[in-house]
Amino acid sequence: MAVAAAEFKEFWLQAQSITLYPDNPLYQYLYHYCWRLHEVTCRKRFVISRVMPNAELLSQASADYQAAFTQAYECYQQWNQQLIRQMGEVKGFDRCALVRDFIRGTMINVSEEVVDAHDVQLYYQYCYALTQLLGQSDKRVPNRDCISHWLQLMAPTPVHVDQRMRFALEHLMTV
């Protein structure tokens, strides 16, 4: 449960730290989910949404871990809902659920396949699909040059890896 709480907290913190496109919630959303896809394809990060949220696992955790996970997960879900509202909700479907399920499935699929983590076309197609599911088909999808730039920004550095490890250790020590 500590790992799940730390993962969702990191997702939320990364989403909060996006400074690119302050006036374009669609691009902020796409950038964040491209980052998550990159984490899975490039760094072989475990897809925590494969097992969480899970009421049975949550019920087996201590009250502190339950609270930590619930808080991290709810913050992250609120960020998702807020950005979708800022994009302009489209009636007729639950866009949050539709997109959440698509993202979960995509993350699981790419974690099980041999995928080129730097394939701009992969991210372009992912952005296109997300844009459609979000009901934003009237908006321009980031072009391949933009996505290539994003991938450069996501390149791992030793400092980044150290920060992730420190974050995980600090979280485990405080819960």
Residue in the block written with tokens 């993962």: 7
Query: Quick check: pTM over 0.95?
Result: no
Residue in the block written with tokens 């509202």: 85
- Cβ contacts of 115 within 8 Å, gap of 6 or more: 41, 122
Three-class SS of the chain: CHHHHHHHHHHHHHHHCCCCCCCCHHHHHHHHHHHHHHHHHHCCCCCHHHCCCCHHHHHHCCHHHHHHHHHHHHHHHHHHHHHHHHHCCCCCCCHHHHHHHHHHHHHHHHHHCCCCCCCHHHHHHHHHHHHHHCCCCCCCCCCHHHHHHHHHHCCCCHHHHHHHHHHHHHHHHHC
Cβ atoms of 91 and 5 within 8 Å: the answer is no
CA–CA distance, 141 with 156 (Å, rounded to integer) = 25
Q: What is the largest CA-CA distance in the chain?
A: 47
One pLDDT digit (tens) per residue for the chain, 175 residues: 999 999 999 999 999 998 888 899 999 999 999 999 999 999 898 999 999 999 999 999 999 999 999 999 999 999 999 999 999 878 888 899 999 999 999 999 999 999 999 999 999 999 999 999 999 999 999 999 999 999 999 876 544 454 555 555 555 555 5
pLDDT of residue 163: 52
CA–CA distance, 143 with 125 (Å, rounded to integer) = 10
